[in-house]
Structures are given as C-alpha cells and as structure tokens.
Amino acid sequence: MKLTEAKQQFISSWGAFGTHWGINRSMAQIHALLLISSDPITQEDIMEELDISRGNTNMNIRELINWRLVERVLLPGERKEYFTAEKDIWKVIRQIVKERKKRELEPMLHLLDKLEEVEGDRRDKNVKTFVDTVSSIKNLGRKADKTLDAMINAEENWFLGTLMKMLK
C-alpha cells in the first residue's frame, strides 16, 4: 500500500472510530491528520487535505486545542498559524481520559451522591432497588475514578508494565 492511501485509510477510520465515542468526524480526522504529519501544517493544508470548509476546520482545531491535543505553532517570519499534535500516544490517551473524567465521570459521581440520599423506606422494594443500583454504580465509579487518577499521573512503562505483570 502506498503512503497516500495508507494515510487516507488511517484518517478515515480514525474518523469513524471517533464517531463511536461521541467525537465528531471532522475533529477526529483533523486530529488523525495532525498525528501523522511530520511538521506543523496550516488550516489551509487541513481544509485541502480533508476537503472541509474553513469554518468547520477552524472550529474543530480550536476544540482540539481546548482538549490540549493540538497546539498552535508560530513559525518565524510566517504570518499564518501552524498546528501540530502531541505525538506521544500515551500522553494523548492520558489527556483524553483526564478531560472526559472531569467532564463526565465526576459530575456523574456527584449526582449519584445526591440520588443515593433519596427519601423513603428502604424496606420498600422499589426504594431498595433504586438505592442499591445507585450505590453500586457509585462505588464502581469511585474506584474507576481513582484508577484513572493513577493512570493520569503515571508513566506508560510503569503503569502498563505493572498492569501487565499483575495480569500474567
């Protein structure tokens, strides 16, 4: 397979992959393109390569910057902005985990705390099932939260190495 075709396949399936995880296609594709670009590229380059509009490109680049997966780069003597993506995949994953944890897991845990305190007699089967379900989700969520914290602060080799040994 030629590089051009391989790149296209990578971008296209990274895009499809993203859509299964609540990330829009353009954003995932822009990220994919930046991941496999050896040097910083401009918004124009992205628009052309992916055949998407200026507005779309701009909006999703900014979103990727919000997620701290992409950085603006100013090249000396150039007026245009260039963009580059973090290439260390472990860092990329940690960053995504960190953001999603903050945006989704933590608010969910707070909500579950509140819901657990529902009024009513726990001998009532309906109350009991509700509280039991909420509690068990919360407990698992708490453990996941701690594990993810450890992961966010860990080096890949330490974290995955220890994990792999433990699982042997």
Which residues bind to DNA, rule: CB under 7 A?
19, 24-27, 42-44, 51-56, 58-62, 79-81
Site string for a second copy, 91-110 (x = CB under 8 A): --x------x---x---x--
The nearest distance, CB 27 to DNA, in angstroms, is 7
CA distance readout (Å), 57 to 30, 47, 52, 60, 135? 8, 6, 7, 5, 43
CA-CA-CA-CA torsion sign (18, 24, 30, 34): negative
Which residue of 81, 106, 128, 155 would you call a contact of a second copy, by CB under 8 A?
128
Under rule CB under 8 A, residue 64 binds a second copy: no
Of 52-60, 66-74, 76-84, 112-120, the window that binds a second copy (rule: CB under 8 A) is 112-120
Q: Which does 134 bind (CB under 5 to 8 A by kind): DNA, a second copy, none?
A: a second copy
- Please give the full DSSP string across 1-19, using - where no structure is assigned: --HHHHHHHHHHHHHHHHH
Query: In angstroms, rounded to a whole number, what is the distance separating the alpha carbons of residues 61 and 28?
Result: 10
The nearest distance, CB 14 to a second copy, in angstroms, is 9
Please count the other Cβ atoms lying within 10 Å of the Cβ belonging to residue 131. Answer: 17
Query: In angstroms, rounded to a whole number, what is the distance separating the alpha carbons of residues 122 and 85?
Result: 52
Query: In angstroms, rounded to a whole number, what is the distance separating the alpha carbons of residues 98 and 93?
Result: 8
Number of residues that bind a second copy (CB under 8 A): 56
Which residue of 27, 35, 41, 46 would you call a contact of a second copy, by CB under 8 A?
35
Q: Which does 150 bind (CB under 5 to 8 A by kind): DNA, a second copy, none?
A: a second copy
